[in-house]
């Protein structure tokens, strides 16, 4: 996929689907979306149990404290092909590729992702930094949506990160240089799962109210409330990462929301409400 920077516009060829089949697909998608919105949300015990430190790094990825060669080679290949898809100017180059998150630490679980950050210098591009970040975020989101790559059963999530951006993490490994930039430590943490659950349930209650508003057909209010809640969760997690890092209460609560269908339901209500507002209903 070629995103930007070149004058030539690349248009891919697609096979056209008959209109009737397309309408059936849209109806099925709409019904599936409503099914997602109306599902009963709970916090499984296994989600809370996942917040436990392991005695060692994940042996599928690490040979003691060094990233296994086959894993490292594959991660570099993925990162380079991800970057090549930008079709960026020659002066924009990969400064580093880093592996972070729980799989680079002792708190890995079945819910972990392979968090792979491609580090570039935004200042090499003669465009407003905010605009570049939005473009890069859009490309990253589209790439992650269109690819289902796994390493040892764990999903690979790609990010484009500015060279001067501060990363709130407890462990950072340079895949490119094959060394730790921030080595993980076996911290003796007392993670109070009851507090995490209590705070997460308060967010569940807010979503329950929004689901009710949506079901009543007040789509504008559902849109406003869902967007407000999305923004609140984003700020909540950000403040936790900045003040307490990866093990902050706020980040652990966010992980609970992400490890359940919560965020999917919230995003679906948000997008579906907007679609309803912008649509003109046919006469019955």
DSSP the chain: ---SSSSSPP----PPPPHHHHHHHHHHHHHHHHHHHHSPP---HHHHHT----SSS-TTTEETTEE-HHHHHHHHHHHHHHHHTT---TT----EEEEESGGGSTT--TT--EEEEEEE-GGGSSS-HHHHHHHHHHHHHHHHHH---EETTEEEEEEEEETTPPP--S-EEETTTTEEEE----------HHHHHHHHHHHHHHHHHHHHHHHTT-HHHHHHHHHHHHHHHHHHHHHHHHHHGGGSHHHHHHHHHHTSTHHHHHHHHHHHHHHHHH--PPP-
Residue 6: its pLDDT value, please?
A: 39
What is the tens place of the pLDDT at every residue in 200-250? Answer: 999 999 999 999 999 999 999 999 999 999 999 999 999 998 888 888 899
Residue 34: its pLDDT value, please?
A: 61
Which residues pair with residue 179 across a beta bridge? 174
Residues of the chain falling short of pLDDT 70: 1-40, 188-189, 283-284
Residues 6+ apart with CB under 8 A from 213: 221, 222, 225
What is the tens place of the pLDDT at every residue in 268-281? Answer: 999 999 999 999 87
* DSSP designation for 113: -
Residue 188: its pLDDT value, please?
A: 58
CB 169 within 8 A of CB 101: yes
Task: For strands 150-151 and 114-120, give the pairing.
Answer: unpaired
């Amino acid at each position: 996929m070629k995103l930007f920077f070149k004058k030539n516009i690349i248009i891919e060829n697609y096979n056209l689907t008959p209109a009737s089949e397309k309408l059936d697909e849209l109806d099925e998608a709409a019904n599936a979306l409503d099914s997602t919105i109306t599902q009963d949300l709970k916090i499984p015990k296994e989600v809370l149990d996942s917040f436990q430190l392991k005695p060692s790094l994940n042996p599928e990825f690490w040979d003691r404290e060094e990233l296994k060669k086959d894993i490292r080679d594959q991660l570099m290949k993925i990162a380079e092909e991800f970057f090549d898809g930008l079709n960026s100017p020659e002066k924009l180059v990969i400064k580093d590729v880093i592996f972070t998150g729980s799989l680079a630490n002792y708190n890995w679980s079945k819910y972990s992702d392979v968090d792979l950050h491609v580090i570039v210098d935004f200042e090499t591009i003669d465009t407003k930094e905010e605009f570049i970040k939005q473009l890069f975020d859009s490309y990253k989101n589209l790439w992650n949506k269109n690819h289902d790559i796994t390493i040892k059963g764990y999903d690979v999530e790609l990010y484009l990160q500015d060279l001067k951006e501060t990363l709130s993490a407890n462990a950072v490994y340079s895949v490119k240089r094959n060394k730790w930039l921030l080595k993980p430590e076996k911290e003796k943490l007392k993670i109070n799962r009851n507090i995490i659950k209590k705070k997460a349930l308060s967010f569940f209650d807010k979503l329950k109210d929004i689901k009710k508003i949506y079901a009543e057909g007040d789509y504008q209010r559902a849109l406003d409330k869902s967007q407000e809640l999305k923004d609140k969760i984003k700020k909540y997690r950000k403040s936790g990462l900045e003040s307490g890092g990866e093990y902050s209460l706020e980040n652990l609560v966010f992980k609970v929301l992400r490890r359940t269908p919560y965020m999917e339901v919230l995003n679906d209500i948000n997008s579906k409400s907007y679609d309803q507002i912008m649509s003109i209903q046919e006469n019955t």
